[in-house]
Each structure stands twice: as C-alpha cells, then as structure tokens.
Amino acid sequence: MNKILYGLCSLLLVGVFATELRAGNPDRQGEAGAYELLMIPYAKMAGLHAMTTANVSGVEAIRLNVAGLGRINKTEVSVSTGRYLEGTGINMNAFGLAQKVGSNGTFGFSLMALDFGDIAVTTSDQPEGTGATFSPNFFNLGLSYAHTFENKVSVGITLRGVSESTSDISAFALAVDAGVQYVTGEKDEFKFGISLRNVGSRMRFGGEGLGALRPAPSDQYELTYETRAADFELPSMLNIGMSYDFLIGDMHRVTAIANFTANSFSQDQVGGGLEYSLNELFQLRAGYKYEFGSEEELEAPIYTGLSAGASISLPLSKENKDARFSIDYAYRTTKVWSGTHNIGIRFNI
C-alpha cells in the first residue's frame, strides 16, 4: 500500500509543478532561450518526434521522461550524433550512461553539446572577416535518478546544468526535470507517462564581450561601458503520453503511441506514431506531429509533419538476451533546410 501511495504522490507532485506553467501561450513565443534543451540528439526517440513519453527507457529517458531511466537490464551506454537542419553545419553530440543500483534504483549521467563549426570573426571595420574564427560552446550536463516501485510505477528526477558561452561572454542556469511512468497489463502492454521539463533559473549573459569603449563626457579619454543584458527563461514544457503494445505471436510487436505537449512559450503540440519490432532485433518507426496554429506559414515551427527511423539490435551473449549492441537512425522533416538526421549506438549489458 505504501508503494501505491508513493506513486500517487509522485503523480500529484508532477501535477502541482505543471500548474505553475502557462502552457500553449503563443503571446510568449520568443521570450525563452536555451532552445538546445528542446533538441533531440538521440536517434531512437527522434524517429518518433520525441513523443515516447510513456515508453521511453534507458539513457534516452533522461532527455524526455527520466522515470524511464530504470527500465534497463543493468548498464546502458549511448553515444549519438545528429546533423541539425542539414545545410547549417550544426551538429548535436550526446553521451549518456545509465547504471542500476540495487533492484529498484538507477543513476544516470548525460552530456549534450552543440558543434557550430568555425565562424568567421567580423568587425565594423572588417565586415568581410578578420581572418580569425570562433565557435560558441553550448552544452548541458544532467545527473539523474529513477526509482521503480513493485506496483510498476516509476518516478525520476534530473538536475541539469545549462551553459552557453564564447571566449568573452557566458550564461549559466540550473534546470530540473521530473517524470512518472505507469505500466500495466498482463505483459506490460499499456504504458502511461507524464514529464515536466526545463523548469529552472533564469539565464543572463555577462562578460567582457558586453563592454565597449566610448568617449568620456570630457572627450579627453575613453571609458569602458558595460551593457546590461536582459535575462530570459528556459523553455519549460509538460508532456503527457501513452502507448500500447500489440503482441503478434512471439516475434512481432506493433506499438502505438500518442503524445500531447503543453509548451510554456509556444503553441501546444499533439501527435502519434507506430513502431514495428521483429523479435526485438529490428525495428521500424514513424510518427507525425502537429502544432496548433501551424497553419500560419510564418509562425509554423521547424518540426511538424513526419519523422521516421530504424534500429538494429544484436545480442552480445547467448546466455543473456538482454545484453545487446544497437544502431539507431532517424530522419525528421523540417520547414526549412533539408531535415535533421540522427544516428547513434547503444550498449546494453
């Protein structure tokens, strides 16, 4: 009974936090920053437009619904990369580790960084470039813990540090993610999940890059004036999702998913998808996501429409079928440029 109460309290806790969000508010669009927190570097979840709130598991759960972190065998290591908006030269890179501790607890670590390539340094005197280059440093690091109760309720929490900087300017914030997953059915066919993401402190840029030399009132010398940058919030959101596994014999599985996202700084989103699995060795997946208000072409988000992906998962041991090496790939259509590609590898031990 205590475990059931813990699960219900966790659901209530997420609901209380969710009431603090003003979801689906297009009037606030553009007021948040650190949008790299919304990017999806992991290929498996990208193949379904990151709508797997209910059934995401392992390292990828740290990014979407940390409650699924503990749904692994013992250890999982994931390395992923993505070409963000093909043609921009921006790459997403991610590394994650999940480790079981005891029978019900799991700790996780994740790191995501953006690679912008080399950007030419320009000035008002040399608008064509000085010959020097720079590359911004955008990364976020998360530490997570998830606990699974015997009544098939799992809860989790992530503390994430968010950093954006160049050589002379930087901003930093702390964010918290929380989530709940519930599994039921004779063979755990039905799953339900809620996650709250990117709730944290405001960010503000500071550093020498905001200073500029200007003449003093007497015009006899120059003074350094510092510009005060405005602070901004993180892109908070609430995800609610469910999934159902249709088991066909011992080798085939078709999973249907549905997901709703309430955004604090843009329109709400809804979508669904299907995943087919052949004996958990090969998977195909496809999804479709729609954002309310996306009929207006200028206001339409980058990611709406179709996504697709595939995975190959090979056993590493005859004795332990859960020990696997997997390769994942995903492609998402975009409003501009030529879509986003993701590829990654996973080791489950």
What is the distance between the alpha carbons of residues 307 and 49, in angstroms, rounded to a whole number? 6
Q: What is the CATH number of domain 2-348?
A: 2.40.160
| pTM more than 0.85 | yes
Please report the pLDDT score of residue 296 as a whole number. Answer: 63
What is the distance between the alpha carbons of residues 167 and 147, in angstroms, rounded to a whole number? 40
How far apart, in Å, are the Cα atoms of 189 and each of 23, 54, 109, 243, 247?
30, 11, 28, 8, 8
The tokens for 201 are: 């402190």
The tokens for 194 are: 């809620």
Long-range CB contact pairs, 151-154, < 8 A, 24+: 151/3, 151/4, 151/7, 152/182, 152/183, 152/184, 152/188, 153/3, 153/4, 153/6, 153/7, 153/10, 153/180, 153/181, 153/182, 154/67, 154/68, 154/70, 154/71, 154/180, 154/181, 154/182, 154/183
Q: What is the pLDDT along the chain (349 residues), one digit of tens a residue?
A: 444 444 444 544 445 444 444 445 666 777 888 999 999 999 999 999 999 999 999 999 999 999 999 899 899 999 999 999 888 889 999 999 999 998 899 999 999 999 998 888 888 888 888 888 888 999 999 999 999 997 789 999 999 999 999 988 999 999 999 999 999 999 999 999 999 999 999 999 998 888 877 787 776 778 777 888 889 999 999 999 999 999 999 899 999 999 999 998 888 999 999 999 999 999 999 999 998 876 666 566 788 889 999 999 999 887 777 789 999 999 999 888 889 999 999 999 8
The tokens for 128 are: 């064509």
How far apart, in Å, are the Cα atoms of 255 and each of 13, 42, 101, 124?
29, 19, 29, 56
Residues 6 or more apart in contact with residue 45 via CB below 8 angstroms: 52, 56, 60, 63, 64
Q: In 3-state terms, what secondary structure has residue 10? A: helix
Residues 6 or more apart in contact with residue 204 via CB below 8 angstroms: 171, 229, 230, 231, 232
Please report the pLDDT score of residue 257 as a whole number. Answer: 97
Please report the pLDDT score of residue 26 as a whole number. Answer: 64
Please report the pLDDT score of residue 330 as a whole number. Answer: 97
Please report the pLDDT score of residue 51 as a whole number. Answer: 96
For 145: left if phi > 0, alpha if psi spans -120 to 50, otherwise beta; the answer is beta
Taking Cα atoms as reference points, which of 233, 236, 257 lies closest to residue 68?
257
Q: What angle do CA 122, 125, 127 make, to 5 degrees?
A: 40
Q: In 3-state terms, what secondary structure has residue 104? A: coil
Per-residue b or e along 194-222, where b marks 16 or more CB atoms closer than 10 Å to that residue's CB: bbbbbbbeebebeeebeeeeeeeeeeeee
- DSSP letter assigned to residue 6: H
Count of C-beta atoms within a 10 Å radius of residue 296:
9
Q: Contact at 8 Å (CB) between 198 and 159?
A: no
